[in-house]
Amino acid sequence: MKDKLLPSILTFVFSSVLIAQVDIPRNAEEDKDKVMSDAYWALWNPEVQAKIDKDIEANRKADAKVKLEGANENTVVQIEQVSHDFIFGAHMFNFNQLGDESLNARYRSLFGSLFNSATVAFYWEHFEMQQGRPRFAAEFWDSESYWKNSDNPKFEEHWRRPAPDPVIEYCKSQGIRVHGHPLVWGNRSWHVPTWILKNCAKGEEAEKLNTLIAEFPKHGNKSVAEKYTKKYKGMSAKELEQYIPNTIAELNRLTKKRICEIAAYYGDKVDSWDVVNESATDWGKGLIVRGESICKSHYGIMPGDYPYLSFKTAQNAFPASVKLNINDYKCDADYAAEVKDLLSRGCKVDIVGSQMHLFNPKRTLEISQGKKIQTPQQVQNTMDSISVGKPIHLSEITITAPDTSKRGRMMQAIIARNLYRKWFSIKPMMGITWWNVVDDCGAPGEPSMSGLFTRGMNPKPAFYALNNLINGEWKTILSKNAESDGSVKFRGFKGKYRLSWTDAQGNERFKYVYVK
């Protein structure tokens, strides 16, 4: 029965003709040759798989009836799905950064062949490295030649932070959905500019700020957050507001300015945004308080009630067609309560983002051994816990191979396939976004074996597993006879279709329709 659950991985044409057939070892007589344990397959058993199939059929497909000109019951109609309604995305943080033109071309070509959505980096620290100089357009250090001549790309200040304009222009030229990440985030190592607090404090308040912050933040490969003094730790949010009121007011102003500036520049060119990233911890700790102008966030000093401030600013600044997301890894009751509170206060929260990072290779091994980590029921419970009547975007996922062996890479592929199938089956889910596409291209501290491709852009089994789902099992291609009234009925995965037929006069006809 297990053999039926292990798919042979199909051939795929990628950039040029790339043919590969990968078989998963199935020698049950020798433990060393088995990829996943019996305990793992007991969790992902035939009954579970059948339930997933049933839910995919119910939640991801729809019926269609299309009237065709010049057709009758003898007309054969070719029905081909050309795009998915569901989002299959990845971040595009390594755009033109792989140090070789052919590798960059392969990387770019994934967006449009495997991925229909790209997450584009807008981390404030590297987007506005100098105050008042937002980095929209490409500069000399965004060129392919620059990265080709970089000896240590990971030590470059803007590694994984390409200028957004060229990335967005490329995506739009390929019909790829664009998702901006993020507008507001409290993280000091990866987002909040090192200059912001110093530049917010003027005159006497600059001296006061020095009594609150023992060490200001530093960014780079050894990023550190600011360190606060005992005085700061002993003060309430209201006391801090009274102590440095102008500094807090300026921090609030600059946060709003950033949102409005980006909105004015891009308008509806970017389809959706993570307006607020990873704020549920502050909510759960009771640190976000209505009416206060400062939040003593677990990250450090943040604007008061910053999720509400951010969403209200964004919904007034962006066109109504732009989707506004909230995003978090803390997928529990605190997160759901925070979203419900924002909605109750009139915030436009269109999509709820959820993260799942298996960063530690040991976790992959434990999953393969049947440990109860990201089981079908746990996945369902997580999604149920954050379901508030809004679509869910699994906005960041990492599935790490335990090593570079064939067996280790197969583990990654099997886990990815089963999790994608389960996520795809859940009704509120609207998309899944893989995080690091290429091995050894993550942020410092992230695993080097979590990509779908090697550093040399050679596809791994996990790539074929996902491609087999996205461009194989989950893409509808049919040939059907039309009805006597000239219509054709079919059921397929939601998305855009091209219907082609020869009418009664012998003319070749085609029509594009959406199945929703």
Which pLDDT does position 223 carry in this prediction?
A: 73
> Domain extents for the chain?
84-473
Say what the pTM is.
Answer: 0.94
Smallest Cα–Cα separation from 107: which of 395, 401, 437, 435?
Answer: 437
Beta strands in 57-113 (DSSP E): 61-67, 76-84, 87-91
**Residue 213 pLDDT:** 95
Beta-strand relationship, 477-481 and 487-493: unpaired
Give the pLDDT score at 216.
87
Residue of higher predicted confidence among 13 and 161? 161
pLDDT, tens only, 346-394: 999 999 999 999 999 999 999 999 999 999 999 999 999 999 999 999 9
E strand spans, 413-462: 429-434
Query: Tokens 């993570």 sit at which residue?
Result: 274
- Section 84-96 average pLDDT: 98
Mean pLDDT of the region 162-171: 98
CB-CB contact of 506 with 91 (8 Å): no
Query: Which parts of 127-283 are beta strand (E)?
Result: 177-181, 184-185, 213-215, 227-228, 272-277
pLDDT for 443 equals: 87
List pLDDT tens digits, range 66-77. Answer: 999 999 999 999
Q: d(Cα 56, Cα 59) in Å, to the nearest integer? A: 5
Residue 117, H or E segment:
strand 117-121
At residue 220 the predicted structure's pLDDT band, cuts being 50, 70 and 90, is: low
| C-alpha separations of 253 from 128, 246, 256, 302, 309 in Å | 15, 10, 5, 12, 10
Q: Is the pLDDT of residue 7 over 80?
A: no
Query: What are the strands, taking DSSP E only, across 281-391?
Result: 294-296, 301-303, 323-328, 351-358
Average pLDDT, the chain: 93
Spatial separation of the C-alpha atoms in residues 112 and 16, rounded to whole Å: 15
Q: How many CA atoms lie within 13 A of 414 on its CB side?
A: 30
pLDDT given at position 219: 76
Class of domain 84-473: alpha beta
- Please report, rounded to a whole number, the percentage of residues in the chain having pLDDT higher than 70: 93
Label residue 445 by pLDDT band (50, 70, 90). Answer: confident
Name the residue with tokens 């600011």.
Answer: 226
Average pLDDT estimate for 443-467: 95
- Identify the band that residue 6 occupies on the pLDDT scale cut at 50, 70 and 90: very low
16 has pLDDT over 90: no
Residue type at position 504: A
Position 222 scores a pLDDT of: 65
Q: Is residue 477 predicted with pLDDT exceeding 80?
A: yes
Instruction: Give the per-residue pLDDT at 20.
Output: 36
Give CA–CA dist 393/181, Å, rounded.
Answer: 13
